[in-house]
Amino acid sequence: MLAADDPSSNKDTPKSRYRTRIPVSEQRPGDPKKGYRYLVEGDYIVSGIPIDLFTMARPAGKNQLKRKGDQAALAYHYTAVTAPNGVRVVTSNCLRCHAQTLNGKFIIGLGNSIVDFSADRTSTVDMVDKMILAMHGADSPQRQAYKTLHDRFLLVSPLIQTRVRGVNPADNLAFVLGRHRNPLTLEWIENPPAIKENKKQTVIPTDVPALWLLKKKNALYYTGSGRGDFARLMMASSLLTLKDSSEAVEIDKKFADVHAYLLTLQAPSWPDNINTALAQQGEQIFAEECVRCHGKHGPQADYPNYMIKLNTIKTDAMLSDWQRSVDSHTYANSWFGKGPHAARLEPGDGYIAPPLDGIWATAPYLHNGSVPDLLTLLNSKLRPKFWQRSFNTSDYNFKTVGWNYQKRASGGDSKIYDTTLPGYGNQGHDFADELSDQERTALIEYLKTL
Ligand code: HEC
Ligand code: HEC
């Protein structure tokens, strides 16, 4: 029984087999200032849309990052880089998925739950190619500088389509790109061997974890599978356009700086008043009901890094099951698993209990973003089966703490989150169901302070 467990114990006694403590992995030091510059200006993806065409077709962005030169005209999630043949191109950067505006405030590290991966982008990709052709000609260096991204997008786009808007297919993207690489030289393979049916293209929807939590974590990803060198794990994004392992070595060095920068990110603080007495009552409830998995927060913070087994957490199993079916052995024997800063994939049978700093800002909740707000996360019976939000970044509810939404009678539209789809389930994590409404209100008041 969970109740028999001693929440203050740091040891995993036989009684506490529902959770496993994730050990620390040593990380490379890096320079956070250089890391930030590389994150928002670096050339980890070296193919894109020629900048002349890009700036002609799109109005100038807001320059949220206050970048200079030709970057100044771009919205935060784009970077101008020089392609290997010397052409200046625009490509997406990490902030496409790892930053978002919330109630008018731009927050780096907040997972983007607005972006729409539910559409097939093939026709857009081809249309851009036609525009480059018309503007610069068929054999132009500009067209050449777009070609890698064009070809790779055509390949991956149909394989990473989510069923609803607001969830992310990054795990599938990494999987597809990994399969098209020679494990050791990382050279592109046009026709990789066929894969077994069960590993095939089920697109697993996930939310995007807030990056300010990284400094507390001993493992990356919802399943806690990312072990060893974090910088190496996160440079997988460059697999999109990377030439080979010699280029990977150069990018890898710079990602130690990116990692150092990510460690400096802070959780955004609650923008409104707090009822202190109520929050204190909530803190007591949190200590009794939640600390044994999520750890202590605030000045005496102690984050225990627990992975919680599926049979206890009971949330949607698909991500965990899928990651365990994907071959970690191949990764271990690849370029990523070699050398002094090796990374490993060790997916466990469950999900990590994340730190809850800045939790008020990171709706929707659970690893698949299936629950719209804290109120329903803490009362599983109230969770909507089909729900729709406006995807307007100011449409946030400060009472229920999460997105405003409307219940729907059925799904079938990508704007409606459909929890009956495989991988999209909203079950489990029912640990607060027995609380009274008053206790739940107190608990939410406390969570706002984290
Ligand atoms: C297409 C969207 C997308 C892009 C682009 C992207 N990420 Fe992510 N990232 C994700 C998702 C989704 C996860 C969570 C995956 C999971 O846990 O299964 C994630 C996880 C992470 C994590 C682990 C966080 C944690 O707490 O577990 C780090 C660190 C990270 N990304 C850094 C980066 C960096 C650096 C880049 C750019 C090189 C990048 N990401 C590009 C979507 C993206
Ligand atoms: C038995 C361990 C356990 C207990 C007890 C527990 N949690 Fe969790 N919690 C988890 C795990 C594991 C997850 C991630 C589940 C997933 O994403 O599928 C989670 C997720 C969450 C999330 C969503 C995080 C996100 O980013 O989406 C919140 C909020 C949360 N828990 C709050 C609480 C509160 C408040 C309590 C006390 C009433 C509590 N939890 C009790 C293990 C636990």
pLDDT tens for the chain, residues 1 to 450: 343 344 444 444 555 689 999 999 999 999 999 999 999 999 999 999 999 999 988 877 789 999 999 999 999 999 999 999 999 999 999 999 999 999 999 999 999 999 999 998 899 999 999 999 999 999 999 999 999 999 999 999 989 999 999 999 999 999 999 999 999 999 999 988 877 665 556 899 999 999 999 999 999 999 999 999 999 999 988 999 999 999 999 999 999 999 999 999 999 999 999 999 999 999 999 999 999 999 999 989 999 999 999 999 999 999 999 999 887 888 999 999 999 899 999 998 999 999 999 999 999 999 999 999 999 999 999 999 999 999 999 999 999 999 999 999 999 999 999 999 999 999 999 999 999 999 999 999 999 999
421 class by beta-carbon count within 10 Å (0-12 exposed, 13-18 middle, 19+ buried): middle
Task: Tell me the CA–centroid distance for residue 319 and ligand 1, in Å.
Answer: 15
Nearest 5°: the CA angle 373, 19, 340 is 100
Residue 304: both structure tokens together: 């225990």
Residue 436: both structure tokens together: 């009274």
Q: What is the pLDDT of residue 10?
A: 45
Q: Which atom of ligand 2 is nearest to the CA of 313?
A: 12
CA distance 413 to 392: 17
CA distance 150 to 70: 22
Nearest 5°: the CA angle 23, 24, 25 is 120
Q: What is the pLDDT of residue 15?
A: 55
Q: What is the pLDDT of residue 427?
A: 98
Residue 105: both structure tokens together: 């405030």
Q: Which atom of ligand 1 is nearest to the CA of 204?
A: 18
Place of tokens 């409606």: 416
CA distance 346 to 116: 29
Task: Tell me the CA–centroid distance for residue 332 and ligand 1, in Å.
Answer: 20
Task: Tell me the CA–centroid distance for residue 236 and ligand 1, in Å.
Answer: 9
Cα-based torsion angle of the residue sequence 302, 234, 353, 274 in order, rounded to the nearest 10 degrees: 70
CA distance 108 to 403: 19
| Cβ–Cβ < 8 Å for 171, 205 | no
Which residue has a Cα nearest atom 39 of ligand 1?
Answer: 94
Q: What is the pLDDT of residue 2?
A: 41
Name the residue of 218, 220, 252 whose CB sits within 8 Å of the most ligand 1 atoms, as the mutation to test its pocket: 220
Task: Tell me the CA–centroid distance for residue 207 and ligand 2, in Å.
Answer: 14
Which residue has a Cα nearest atom 16 of ligand 1?
Answer: 221
269-304 as b/e: b if 16+ CB within 10 A: ebeeeeeeebbebbbebbeebbbbbbbbbeeeeebb
Q: Which atom of ligand 2 is nearest to the CA of 352?
A: 12
Q: What is the pLDDT of residue 8?
A: 43
Q: What is the pLDDT of residue 36?
A: 98
Q: Which atom of ligand 1 is nearest to the CA of 169?
A: 12
Which residue has a Cα nearest atom 19 of ligand 2?
Answer: 353
- Taking the CA of 284 as reference, the closest ligand is 2
CA distance 43 to 242: 10
Nearest 5°: the CA angle 219, 221, 225 is 60
CA 188 to chain centre: 25
Which residue has a Cα nearest atom 42 of ligand 2?
Answer: 353
| Cβ–Cβ < 8 Å for 207, 316 | no
| Cβ–Cβ < 8 Å for 48, 131 | no
Closest CA to 169 of 204, 221, 208: 204
- Cis geometry, peptide bond prior to residue 192 (ω within 30 degrees of 0): no
Closest CA to 367 of 308, 295, 437, 319: 319
Q: What is the pLDDT of residue 360?
A: 98
Q: What is the CA radius of gyration of the chain?
A: 22
